[in-house]
Structure 1
């Protein structure tokens, strides 16, 4: 019953968002959701427990930032249960994704997703953002329910390439967080996100260095 509900919700949600995916991609998204639901019962990967809300609040919410993902290699910090990194990797197979999280249980789950879903374009790193030493900085870094904006730029600023941007996913527009951004950083644009089936506000804040 759950699988049939998820299939319908995903199909209708993608249609409403005008996102066209192959049957194989939709199958992988639902396989990921089944994994997340299964592991969540033991590992507390996400606060969403209602199976009827999972497609909207996890898959469609992650895919709502697709129009702003423009890099060849994206870093997802505080990747947690793989949101938005895993859904984005499924629908953008030509791109590379690095998922970073300091929680060992969560990175074990992410590695299992990579293995079971055959995601050859995903790398998983277990560690803290401050300790991450990539060969080259990333032109885009995504963050969903990870931390406040001042922490995000403080912990991950060195991982962002010159001219790069943070894609910070938030609920209500975080006026206090924006006001607390340290000197040298700014919100270059903000976008209200429409997520089919999800109540409440959703926003994407694009954060860049102030001189850009």
Structure 2
């Protein structure tokens, strides 16, 4: 079996032509610098696997960037479980209009995130070391993003308390997203969420489209209020 130490030194992947259209000419250099950091420091520090470096653009950077298609202009974004910055840092590079907070519990990852933010001059990005449930801004973000953090049932419990009344969870998901929605039905009802919307992004620019899920509040005026009890529950409390 080949160990990590036996593999050749990581090298930055070549930039595909489609990246210019996705990031724009004025942001492409930042995306390339971030790709180089992921492929070198990111691999050495164990933030991504060494075999991911050659396919960083197709599997990671481009599909995270097109998540911006589902995010309005000039809004606040909280990216939970940011890891090495996917999708949060990619969105910050592609969309300088967004105000982004990266939430990540592991120190070695937040150290890397802080370094990248400083190196790339991403002044609109804040890094918080902690878990989603520890973030103080309850219902304070227009959009809450994530990628491969948890099944939808758990993701809703972590993300929706951060979503503003007129905001939404916008999470990257795989091909099993419909099954996840079915499993999460009780949680969706309990949290008073609207019907989830499955999105297909990047269809005109990427070979492989990105799948995402958007979940908003069913009634924005009720966000943050305690759930009303059923008549049966009220009767039990009076007895």
TM-score of the superposition, structure 2-length normalised?
A: 0.76
Is 1:129 matched up with 2:139? no
Relative contact order, CA 8 A, sep 6+: which one is greater?
1
Gaps of at least 5 residues in structure 2 are: 1-10, 221-239
Q: How does 1:109-188 map to 2 (within 5 A)?
A: 109-134=112-137, 137-181=140-184, 182=187, 183=189, 184-188=192-196
Residue 154 of structure 1, CA deviation: 0.8
**CA pair 55-207 structure 1, distance change in 2 beyond 3 A:** same
Structure 1 ranges of 4+ moved more than 6 A: none
Aligned residue in 2 for 1:12: 18
2:80 to 39, 62, 77: 77
Q: In the alignment, is the contact (CA less than 8 A) between 2:141 and 2:167 conserved in 1?
A: yes
What per-residue deviation string (whole Å, max 9, x for no partner) do you get for residues 8-57 of structure 1? x1x33444xxx46124x111101001111122323322347243311111
The root-mean-square deviation of aligned C-alpha atoms, in Å, is 2.3
Whichever of the two has the greater Rg, that structure is 2
**CA pair 22-153 structure 1, distance change in 2 beyond 3 A:** same
Q: How many residues align?
A: 203
Q: How does 1:27-42 map to 2 (within 5 A)?
A: 27-42=29-44
Gaps of at least 5 residues in structure 1 are: none
Q: In the alignment, is the contact (CA less than 8 A) between 1:32 and 1:113 conserved in 2?
A: yes
TM-score of the superposition, structure 1-length normalised?
A: 0.85
